[in-house]
Structures are given as C-alpha cells and as structure tokens.
Amino acid sequence: MNWRRCLFVILSSMFYCEFLGDYIKLNSCSWPALEPNELHAMIIADTHLLGPFRGHWLDKLYREWHMRRAFQAALFLHRPDIIFVLGDLFDEGDMVDHDDFRAYVTRFYSHFRTNIPIISAVGNHDVGFHYKMHPYFMNRFEEQFNNTGVQMYTLRGIHFVLINSMAMENDGCEFCQTAVEELHSVAAKLHCLRNLNTCNDFETIKEHVNYSRPIVLQHFPTYRKSDRSCREHDSLRIEEYREKWEVLSKNSTDWLGKLLHPRLAFAGHSHHYCYSINRWGIEEYTVASFSWRNKVNPSFLMASLNPTKHSVHKCPMLEQPTVYILYIFTGCLCIILIIIDISKWLYSLVRRSKPLIKTQ
C-alpha cells in the first residue's frame, strides 16, 4: 500500500531535516590549515533566544531546536578548542525581569551545552543600547557570563580583547568611562609584554607571557558606511549603517585602532556575513546570525589561529528554505500516493460492480 511508502517518506524527511541534515551540511566544512599547535576557535553571533514578549511559542521551539542541533553537530564534527559568542545571546535581555532572565540563562546553557570553554561578548539585546544600559542589566549579565566591559584573554600565546561596543561612545558616561580605563589597562599590559626588558609588571608577564598583536572581538563592527565595502558578503539588501547604532563611530573606531594596534577583528550585530579590510587596515569578519529567525541561511566562522598568523573559513549551516521545500515536496508526494491508492480502490469497486449490473 502507498500509505506505507508515504509514512516512510515522511519519517525519512523528518530524520534528515531534524537530525541528519545538520551533520551532512556541516561535514563539508573544515578547519583552515595553518601550523601545528594552532588554536581552533568557533565564532558565532546573534543567537537571539526569544523571551516571553516576542515571537510565537512554536517559532521559539522550532528555530531554537535547529540552533541546538546545528551547534551540537558542529561540536561533534569539528571539536573546537574555544567558542566565542559575539553578543545578542538573547532577544529580550534588556526587557525581562530577574526570573525570566534566569530562565533565559538556563535555556542558553541547555541549547549550547558543552565542556568546551565559551566566552561571550555582550550585545545591545542583552543589556540595551548605550542610552538604555543600566547597572541592573549589566550586573546580572556579568554574574552569569563574567563579561560586560573590556576583558583580555590569552590562549596559547594569542591575546583576545573583548569589548562592550555600547560603551564605546566616549561621552563620559559611567560605563564608557570604565571601558576607557579598562582599555588603557589592556594597552598598558600589551606595552609591557612588548617591552619585557623594561617592564616591571610581573603579574602581567606571568599571566600573558609574550607579546603578540591582539585580536579584537565585539558586538558592533568597526565603522563602515555599508556592506558595499565588504570584499565578501551575503546580505541580499545593502543598507546604510548609522554610527553608534549599526557600527561603531568613526572616532571610536580610530581611537581603538591606535590604542590596541590589533591584527584581526571579529564582530556580529548586522546578522549578515562580511569580510572586509577595515579602517585599521586589517581583516575584519562580521559573523552572520546563528538563528533562522534573523537569517534563512545562517553560518558561523572557523578560525585557525596562532600568535602571529590566522586563517578563517565561513561554515554555512542548514538553510531554512531547504527544510521547508523538502517538507513541501514530501507532502505533495504523499498526496499523490494517497490519490493513487484511492483511484485504485475506486477502480476495483467499479470492476466488482460490473458483473452485478450485467446479471440484472
């Protein structure tokens, strides 16, 4: 019977779309080759877990299920050494109360469960834009993710500087002033490491060991007018970017470049992938959103790093239209099979009724 074939097709489609598809798609990605002892960093952005106010519960359930499947598939296949999340972990982090925020955090660690270290930058949907940042929002994010300002991490001799983009307005606000002080502290540490013969900061030397130009990670990209300046991008529509909203301001961008003298930069926020040479004259990668809610063809970055070199690959994830088209095709095929079954049944009834008609 065709209904059995239909059931088999449905179950096969579900198995592919909800489990196997992520593994097949992500298996085509690989770590870019560099040198022995390289650090493999998986970089994602804008997971935007929905809260109690926005989006339908089914939207939340289904799209977050696919984020979870994609993340676990990436870990199984590629086993990164470190994972960076470049802000906007939550969609309503600046709107929810204490209990909802704790539920948010529980969901985040449930979806992104791993023993691999995760370092998260803060985004505007986590604590609000500059005008909305409040100690209440900042403190609770800090308690859960240990980062709301400026932090320097050193892994295998590679220095990573995480920055709160919303605190980069240099207008003297409490958070901006703190961020400026922290950035000067990071710059002093880098200067110390660069001049070991004259540096007396033994704690910095012990913690960070040697100098290498840092890698900057933050939520906002550095200043650019639009994605037209990208050497590679996947945005279908080019929009003009506003300083302090979609990108850092020119002044903040230039100031950061002079202060830190970085060699590579990563950001999120735009929800689209972009590879560019920024105002600092270095490579900058804007990471696409990890969620179908923001992008039907999400992706993440796989970076091979050492203290002086880097190589970065974009890894495309299972696309939302692929899943929907496969389900539509499955539904149409099942309808055809059922129609064939019904036609055969009706035909058999007609065949059986013919002798009765002749007898009468």
Residue 354 lies in a domain: no
Residue 96 lies in a domain: yes
pLDDT score at 172: 81
Which of 140-144, 152-156, 202-206 is least confident?
Answer: 202-206
pLDDT score at 11: 93
Question: Is 34:74 a contact under the CB 8 Å cutoff?
Answer: no
In the predicted structure, residue 148 carries a pLDDT above the cut 80: no
Residue 273 lies in a domain: yes
In the predicted structure, residue 355 carries a pLDDT above the cut 70: no
pLDDT score at 43: 98
Domain that holds residue 143: 2-6+21-339
pLDDT score at 5: 83
| Global pTM value | 0.92
Q: How far apart are the first and last CA of the chain?
A: 34
When divided into structural domains, the chain yields a total of 1
List the one residue out of 89, 57, 53 whose CA is nearest residue 71. 89
Residue 132 lies in a domain: yes
Residue 345 lies in a domain: no
* CA–CA distance, 212 with 264 (Å, rounded to integer): 11
- Treating both helix axes as pointing N-terminal to C-terminal, what angle do 98-111 and 135-145 enclose, rounded to 10 degrees? 30
Residue 359 lies in a domain: no
Residue 274 lies in a domain: yes
Within 10 angstroms of residue 239's Cβ, the number of other Cβ atoms is: 11
Sign of the Cα pseudo-torsion (193, 194, 196, 199, in order): negative
What is the DSSP code (8-state) at residue 223?
P
pLDDT score at 127: 95
Residues 171-226 have pLDDT tens digits of 888 899 999 999 999 999 999 999 988 888 888 888 888 999 999 999 999 999 99
In DSSP terms, which residues pair with 311 in a beta bridge?
304
Give the CATH number for residue 287.
3.60.21.10
What value does the mean pLDDT take over residues 256-266?
97
Residue 178 lies in a domain: yes
Task: Output b/e per residue, 266-293; b: 16+ Cβ within 10 A.
Answer: bbbbbbbbbebebbbebbbbbbbbbbbb
In the predicted structure, residue 357 carries a pLDDT above the cut 70: no
